[in-house]
């Protein structure tokens, strides 16, 4: 934390203390007084007209903190030089302004800390607070500061009680304000049974360590350190105080008379020396120009001093000016890392929760898909059962039609056999009618043509029957393939579904072809019927000519019976038909 940020924290308290109405604005007259006091304590040449010139375009109304910041940066903070002023006086000025308005100790005088100790705690709070406004101190820093104070008094802090208090206390911006912190200390809840003088000494020690960067100083209870002189080489008792860049020594603990100092840098070192000259627990600090010998009261005190001086040398080597600024930065980084780990853990937990919800949702979807698949399988089985029944019914119908066709063909063959026998009997009769044959040639040619048409129709019918049998075989084959695909459906349902659709299309095409065959068969049957009609017409013509022939061959005599003329004519014409059929075959 640089000097500008430290000064801004104290000035913020002074500015808010002047904001009586809590509107975020302060009158120009009050800002003039504040600026004059800041010029004085910061040892900056005062420019009495700078504020008026800076706000000369503004009206006489109050000025906000944002409006005051440009003037503060340009005319005050930019001119501040570190080491040119006493920071404690600057802090006392800002504390005086803000404490008058905000600090409310016990009016009965029962406060745990004095007004001066409250000021030092306020400075410690500003040092350890976060770098954002309004200023607050996070619970970790509160616990750290209280532990430092309790350690200085050799008292152990009750962390559980502190956590209970912080959990009950309303916290703004994630921490305690300085006034909440002072109220907590004055409540005596964590420092009960301890005298105010001991608390003041502890606060002073922590203040010097944290604010004034005093890494180590001799305590009166442990005695002074002995230092060996350079010229007279005698041993003198001195009060030592260690800061990161210098080890100073005084005549007494009041630090009124400074006897000298040892400048520390990265080239210095501290070493433990053996006992000699009647002195024990000796150690020395070596610089580039001189070696300083010192003696502690006991081994523990020597170890504390050597470790503290080594720490100061290490800070100089690392280019750091303050131990506690470095420790504060490290604690802040650790808090940020904890927050990051916590946020990462919460994010991981949230992600795992989302993954679990996604998993449950997918499981539900999977169950729904399984249920839909089972329903689809049931529907598919029902559809297959229905199609199988339709195929069986169609097969039975085709078988019945085939049997009927076979019976019709058998009856036709039997009829043909009978006709052939009849034709054989009529052959002799045809020989007798050869003369008549020439006159009947034209009728016979018509009959022959009709018979040829009938034979062509029969041949077409036989071909269609063969095609019908082939289609039936294909239908049976498709049925077997379909049954095989039904078995494979349980293993590859999606693939079988597509294949079954293809087979169903083929089956539909086969059914269409079968229907076409049936239509062709009906057409052939119609052609057969037409040929039969022509045959009957030709037979009628033949009968007519046969009657005429009989009349010519058998003259009608007196008393002849004519009852069997028709039968005789038909009987006489049968050999002619048989001979014609034989010639056609």
Burial of 518 per CB tally in 10 Å (0-12, 13-18, 19+): middle
pLDDT class of 487 with cuts at 50, 70, 90: confident
CA distance 358 to 177: 44
pLDDT computed for residue 366 by the predictor: 92
Strand 282-286 relative to strand 291-295, pairing: antiparallel
Q: What are the Cα distances from residue 324, in Å, to 246, 328, 461?
A: 16, 6, 116
For residue 134, cis peptide bond before it (omega within 30 degrees of 0): yes
Query: Tens digits of per-residue pLDDT, 557-585?
Result: 555 554 443 444 434 444 444 554 554 44
Query: Tens digits of per-residue pLDDT, 232-274?
Result: 788 888 888 888 888 888 888 888 888 889 999 888 999 999 9
Query: Tens digits of per-residue pLDDT, 327-362?
Result: 888 888 888 888 889 889 999 999 999 999 999 999
Q: What is the DSSP letter of 440?
A: T
Are 157 and 194 a contacting pair, CB within 8 Å?
no
Residue 229 has pLDDT above 60, yes or no: yes
Going along the chain from its start, the domains and CATH numbers come out as: 2-211 (no CATH), 225-320 (2.30.29.30)
What is the chain's Cα-based Rg?
Answer: 64
CA distance 225 to 249: 9
Residue 218 has pLDDT above 60, yes or no: no
pLDDT class of 219 with cuts at 50, 70, 90: low
Query: Tens digits of per-residue pLDDT, 433-466?
Result: 777 767 777 877 888 888 888 888 888 888 888 8
> Above pLDDT 70, what percent of the chain?
90
Residue 83 has pLDDT above 60, yes or no: yes
pLDDT computed for residue 66 by the predictor: 80
pLDDT class of 385 with cuts at 50, 70, 90: very high
pLDDT computed for residue 554 by the predictor: 65
Query: Tens digits of per-residue pLDDT, 266-323?
Result: 889 999 999 887 888 999 999 988 899 999 988 988 998 999 899 889 888 888 777 7
Q: What is the pTM of this model?
A: 0.56
Q: What is the DSSP letter of 272?
A: E
Give the mean pLDDT of the chain. 82
What DSSP line would sit under 510-566, residue for residue? HHHHHHHHHHHHHHHHHHHHHHHHHHHHHHHHHHHHHHHHHHHHS---TT---TTHH
Query: Tens digits of per-residue pLDDT, 416-425?
Result: 999 888 888 8
pLDDT class of 550 with cuts at 50, 70, 90: confident
- Overall size of the chain counted in residues: 585
Residue 102 has pLDDT above 50, yes or no: yes
CA distance 15 to 7: 12
Q: What is the mean pLDDT of residues 391-396?
A: 91
Query: Tens digits of per-residue pLDDT, 21-68?
Result: 778 888 888 888 888 888 889 898 877 777 677 766 555 567 777 888
The closest alpha carbon to 296, from 275, 312, 280, 319, belongs to 280
Q: What is the mean pLDDT of residues 73-99?
A: 87
Are 301 and 248 a contacting pair, CB within 8 Å?
no
């Amino acid at each position: 934390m640089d000097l500008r940020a430290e000064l801004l924290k104290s000035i913020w308290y002074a500015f808010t203390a002047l904001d009586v109405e809590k509107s975020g604005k302060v009158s120009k007259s009050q800002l003039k007084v504040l600026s004059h006091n800041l010029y004085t304590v910061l040892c900056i040449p005062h420019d009495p007209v700078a504020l008026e010139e800076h706000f000369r375009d503004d009206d006489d109304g109050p000025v906000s903190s944002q409006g005051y910041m440009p003037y503060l940066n340009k005319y005050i903070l930019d001119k501040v030089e570190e080491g040119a002023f006493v920071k404690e006086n600057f802090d006392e000025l800002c504390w005086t302004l803000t404490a008058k308005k905000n600090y409310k100790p016990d009016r009965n005088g029962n406060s745990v800390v004095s007004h001066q100790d409250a000021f030092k705690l306020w400075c410690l709070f500003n040092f350890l607070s976060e770098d954002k406004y309004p200023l607050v101190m996070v619970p970790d820093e509160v616990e750290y500061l209280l532990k430092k104070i309790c350690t200085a008094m050799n008292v152990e802090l009750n962390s559980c009680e502190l956590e209970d208090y912080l959990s009950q206390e309303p916290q703004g911006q994630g921490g305690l304000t300085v006034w909440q912190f002072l109220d907590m200390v004055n409540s005596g809840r964590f420092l009960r049974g301890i005298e105010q003088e001991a608390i003041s000494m502890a606060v002073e020690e922590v203040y010097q360590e944290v604010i004034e960067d005093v890494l180590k100083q001799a305590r009166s209870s442990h005695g002074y350190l002995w230092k060996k002189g350079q010229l007279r080489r005698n041993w003198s008792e001195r009060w030592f105080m260690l800061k990161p860049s210098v080890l100073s020594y005084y005549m007494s603990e009041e630090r009124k008379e400074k006897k000298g100092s040892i400048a520390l840098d990265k080239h210095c070192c501290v070493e433990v020396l053996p006992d000699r000259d009647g002195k024990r627990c000796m150690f020395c600090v070596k610089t580039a120009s001189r070696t300083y010998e010192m003696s502690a009261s006991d081994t523990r005190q020597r170890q504390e001093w050597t470790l503290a001086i080594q720490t100061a040398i290490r800070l100089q080597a690392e280019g750091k000016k303050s131990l506690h600024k470095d420790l504060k930065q490290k604690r802040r980084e650790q808090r940020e890392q904890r927050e990051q780990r916590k946020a990462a853990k919460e994010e991981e937990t949230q992600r795992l929760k989302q993954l679990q919800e996604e998993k449950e949702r997918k499981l539900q979807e999977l169950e729904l898909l399984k249920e839909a698949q089972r329903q689809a399988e049931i529907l598919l089985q029902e559809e297959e059962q229905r199609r199988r029944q339709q195929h069986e019914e169609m097969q039975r119908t085709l078988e019945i039609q085939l049997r009927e066709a076979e019976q019709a063909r058998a009856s036709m063959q039997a009829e043909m056999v009978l006709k052939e026998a009849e034709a054989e009997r009529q052959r002799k009769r045809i020989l007798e009618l050869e003369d008549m044959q020439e006159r009947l040639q034209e009728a016979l040619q018509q009959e022959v043509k009709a018979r040829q048409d009938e034979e062509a129709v029969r041949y077409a019918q036989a071909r269609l029957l063969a095609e019908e049998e082939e289609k039936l075989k294909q239908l049976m084959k498709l049925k077997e393939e379909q049954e095989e695909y039904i078995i494979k459906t349980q293993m590859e349902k999606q693939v079988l579904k597509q294949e079954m659709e293809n087979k169903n299309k083929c089956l539909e095409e086969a059914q269409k072809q079968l229907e076409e065959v049936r239509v062709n068969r009906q057409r052939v049957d119609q052609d057969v019927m037409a040929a039969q009609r022509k045959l009957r017409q030709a037979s009628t013509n033949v009968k007519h000519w046969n009657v005429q022939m009989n009349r010519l061959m058998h003259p009608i005599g007196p008393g002849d019976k004519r009852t069997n003329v028709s039968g005789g004519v038909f009987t006489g014409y049968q050999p002619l038909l048989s001979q014609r059929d034989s010639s056609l075959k």
